[in-house]
Structure 1
């Protein structure tokens, strides 16, 4: 929302997943399937390659999408797009600049919202690991993220925001509840010209957690 208001118009208003009859922007997140005939797609992606999560209506315009896996699916659907790949989440530092850089060895954990109340996250909270609430107001969310040296996240945008602020980030798996079997993560990593084989989630849900520093990753 902040990206749309900052780069397009302060008059942009949020809308849900129902079809609109007026021009609209499909901007950030795995929400491409909600685009309609009046949509201008600028960085969104698919959440899965399963048919139920794909577009059923051609958008007004596709200017860029999150990554090449989304682009490939659009090609398969016969939908024209310029093969430009980027997630607008990388623009966060321009909207929420942070002047304080962490000198500590603090590791931050950003769980996906479906994992926020998971047993593993609760254990980490009890042991003192810094948990960054994905529901926090943007200003406090980015301040907390920027105070960390590195980020663990089961949320794609936890990783994207960490990268945007120059923080190393590790993709962890806390449950089987995040839709898509990793599709959106691979889509994003491929947009960085990374090989998929080098980026697999670290399944931590059955492991213990502690507060010892994690080596660079």
Structure 2
């Protein structure tokens, strides 16, 4: 607390998309220090993303702080030497042998608090489709946009504000990107997980991990080719995220005091 040194944050920069760029923006909103990128081996802080596997217990690696990160895959229990303040979900928490009763939730859920200027009045009938970056060229996306009046494809490689300003005009969102779903939840936009291919790394683990914080039954993905207006209306009616505000409050409170 009170340090003038930059906060060295790790986020994925290999194929940066809105989920990756979101991490420094959300962290910056919670700290007085300048946030700068650092490699996983040299960082002092990890936040948004399926990146916890990079927080290894290397002999000479620094002890770092983890706030809301998750694992990409299921796996054996791990004993981390790091300071874990929150993780993305209960499946990630279950893998950590020496950390219990952790606040759970993805810090992307705080986006509506950090970017209130991006909130827009939803356009009635507008359905946003957010493909994961590995799904951007899937023909099913183009066919859906052509088939469903008011459908809008939203590029996961847009900058954060540009992405959010498009997303918040939607009255419903379909996404194969986890952060498309998380950001829709952040702005209370009804949404549905879709699977467009088998290319998304980690398959279902990170989705189940994220949804575990809401005490809902494990979610089922939808087939975009089968989704029409009647199904969208049903999904809108059934949408709920119990305890969302409490999850956000707990996440914000869990941000480590020494970095504020």
Q: TM-score, normalised by structure 2?
A: 0.71
Q: Deviations over 1:48-92 (max 9, x none)?
A: 1146xx86x824200110111111111xxx232442111100110
CA distance in 1, matches of 2:153, 2:144: 8
Match of residue 107, structure 1, among 106, 110, 127: 127
| Secondary structure, aligned partner of 2:163 | helix
Structure 1 residues 71-86: aligned runs within 5 Å:
71-74=93-96, 78-86=97-105
Aligned residue for 1:69?
91
Query: Which of 64, 68, 71 is 1:43 aligned to?
Result: 68
**8 Å contact 1:123–1:209 — kept in the other structure?**
no
For structure 2, the residue ranges without an aligned partner over 5 or more in a row are: 1-23, 57-61, 236-260
Secondary structure of the structure 2 residue equivalent to 1:62: strand
1-side partners of 2:214 and 2:37: how far apart? Answer: 29
Deviation at 1:99, TM superposition (A): 4.5
RMSD: 2.3
Distance in 2 between residues matched to 1:61 and 1:175, nearest whole Å = 36
CA 80–130 in structure 1, closer or farther in 2 if over 3 Å, else same: same
Q: Retained in 2: the 8 A contact 1:168–1:216?
A: no
Aligned to 2:113: 94
Are the structure 2 counterparts of residues 47 and 216 from structure 1 closer, same or farther at C-alpha, using a change threshold of 3 Å? same
User: 1:118 and 2:138 equivalent?
Assistant: yes
Q: Indicate conservation of the 8 Å contact 2:119/2:165, yes or no.
A: no
2: CA distance, partners of 1:180 / 1:100: 33
> What is the distance in 2 between the residues matched to 1:169 and 1:114?
20
Give the Cα–Cα distance (whole angstroms) in 2 for the partners of residues 15 and 112 of structure 1.
25
Higher relative contact order (CA 8 A, sep 6+): 2
Cα distance between partner residues in 2 of 1:9 and 1:59: 26
The aligned counterpart of 1:214 is 232
* 3-state secondary structure, aligned to 2:174: strand
Q: Aligned-pair distance for 1:167?
A: 0.5
Distance 1:29 1:65 in 2: 10
**Matching residue within 36, 39, 49 for 1:13:** 36
Judged with a 3 Å threshold, the aligned counterparts in structure 2 of structure 1 residues 108 and 59 are, in CA distance, closer, same or farther, namely farther
TM superposition shift of 1:209: 6.9
How many residues align? The count is: 204
Paired position in structure 1 for 2:26: 3
